[in-house]
Amino acid sequence: MIYYVIALIVFLVDQGTKWLVATRMTLGEEISVIGDFFLITSHRNRGAAFGILQGQTWFFIVVTTIVVIALIWYINKVKSQPDKILPVALALVLGGALGNFIDRLLTGEVVDFFKFNFGSYTFPIFNIADSAIVVGVGLIILDTLLESRREKQLTQSQDEGKE
């Protein structure tokens, strides 16, 4: 149950911050947080990460529905395992996926607002849901690497026991 609470918290924080930006800022308005490096910017995205696949709302709705079902199934499968990194990671991805999904379903676009400038380069504007998905995927990769390492150590200790 805790993993669904994590997903719900991500979803609620994401939706709350998007609501604040959408209702308190005009489209394109920017608020400096750290000079020109970090700004809160009212932006809308009809595509995916980095603005790709613009206007493919139904594609995103179908794909996200499949992903959400798969995430719920997989969380239920791994939630009782002793290692908790993977189910937490899946919960973060689930909360983020649902946050962007509801935006696309209701308005056909996602509210983005974190803007970072690195000199003349501007990183694509993103939101809390995007951040949760990226952190979740990073934790999934970490869990995969740790699991590979554990399996290797187990194999080595079994080989040493045979000698």
Q: What are the catalytic residues?
A: 112, 130
Contact 142, 58 (CB under 8 A): no
Contact 92, 136 (CB under 8 A): yes
Label residue 148 left, alpha or beta by phi (over 0 means left) and psi (-120 to 50 means alpha).
alpha
Contact 162, 116 (CB under 8 A): no
